[in-house]
Amino acid sequence: MNFHEYQAKDLFAQYNIPIPRGQVARTPEEAVAAAESLECDMWVVKAQVHAGGRGKAGGVKLAKTLAEVKQYATDMLGMKIQTYQTGGLALPVNEVLITEAADIEQEIYLSLLVDRASKCLSFVASAEGGVEIEEVARTNPEKIHTIKIDNTEGLFPYACRKAGFAMGLNGKQVRQLTHIMMQMYQMFIDLDLSLIEVNPLIIDDQKNVVALDAKINSDDNADFRHPQLADLRDITQEDPAEAKAHEHDLNYIKLEGNIACMVNGAGLAMATMDVIKLKGGDPANFLDVGGGATAERVAIAFKIILSDPNVESILVNIFGGIVRCDLIADGIISAIKEVGVKVPIVVRLEGTNVEAGKKILDESGLAVIAADNLDDAANKAVAAVGAQS
């Protein structure tokens, strides 16, 4: 789950990570009131969306007067922002963050993430902050400093100090950086996060290290342990179909193809998409309905799939282990009748009571294309798209 910048900064404040003073506003009038309460000479008005690159899209403005604060807030609220990080979506701006403007002497990049290659958490730091870290890694890899954290021993202050001195910070700033990194690590562990990114972490005119920006992602699988974080979810920043799937505990990710997939099990879903590609087709989605593929869940899954206008055929690939194939077949039939599917549906069933399940589908009178195995199913799903063209 992603968080807005103001939400991430609220969490930073709870862990004593220094941030600029700021308030969130949902109307131009609230923006002016927030600016007045900060009692400073200049303000930054920042559109709150789940994406980087807001500045280039007009989502970050420096205001020198309260009139400019109001004008910028008016311009941003209600606008939609699309950047290289929005996955093709134009995200609505429902809130703006008003912060005091900072005098920046240096910008630093700092992040803490799950390093899957090393199977541990890792800090990534660079004195080249305020820009895309991928570009720094490509052009100046020697300026990237990585700190791998032992899963048993945790993070030690000396490792933070080493990174600070490597980036050219003085003794005072290294101590401040060490405090920030230790607190970031504690927050990461406490809240089951998957990413913390500060770009930029700045040195201000008082020579202090301050988190000017904040990006946090959490692990959805740990939501049950952190209801206070789950309550921060903003579904207006998500693909509507993915948001609906999350509401019903379905794992759905929209892709760019035209062959929809409905599968029970993440590994089987990945294999299904691979075979579709192998046969010359393009998957329209990843959809794992889970082990309990009931009629209700299958019906919801069909509705989510058909909300994508690019879908030209559907491949249902179900392995009946815990759930019997005959019950799955009943669910598929009920769902098709309820939803009114108008594109070809290829169904491959395997597992417990598979013959009974196939018989139910054969005798349903519905235009369901039966498949003997995954290879056969993929061939038929791809062929069905060709027949529709």
66 Cβ neighbours under 8 A, 6+ residues apart: 32, 35, 36
Nearest to 317 by CA among 275, 254, 278: 275
- Establish whether 323 is an annotated binding residue: yes
Strand order in the sheet with 313-320: 251-254, 285-288, 259-263, 313-320, 345-351, 368-371
Q: What is the DSSP string of 350-378?
A: EETTHHHHHHHHHTT-S-EEEESSHHHHH
- Establish whether 53 is an annotated binding residue: yes
- Establish whether 102 is an annotated binding residue: yes
Q: Are 57 and 67 in contact (CB under 8 A)?
A: no
- Establish whether 353 is an annotated binding residue: no
Our answer to whether residue 109 is catalytic in this structure is yes
Our answer to whether residue 197 is catalytic in this structure is yes
Catalytic one of 5, 95, 128, 197: 197
Q: Are 347 and 332 in contact (CB under 8 A)?
A: yes
Q: Are 35 and 20 in contact (CB under 8 A)?
A: no
- Establish whether 170 is an annotated binding residue: no
Encoded tokens for 112? 């803490």
Q: Are 83 and 53 in contact (CB under 8 A)?
A: yes
Task: Give the angle subtended at the CA of 244 by the CAs of 238 and 247, to the nearest 5°.
Answer: 105
Q: How far apart are CA 193 and CA 222, in angstroms?
A: 9
- Establish whether 291 is an annotated binding residue: no
- Establish whether 213 is an annotated binding residue: yes
- Give the DSSP H or E segment for 313: strand 313-320
- Establish whether 373 is an annotated binding residue: no
Q: How far apart are CA 223 and CA 244, in angstroms?
A: 17
Give the number of other CB atoms < 10 A from CB of residue 223. 16
- Establish whether 264 is an annotated binding residue: yes
Catalytic one of 109, 128, 312, 350: 109
**Which amino acids are annotated as binding site for ATP, given as ranges?**
46, 53-55, 102, 107
Annotated binding site for Mg(2+): 199, 213
Which positions are annotated as active-site residues? 109, 197
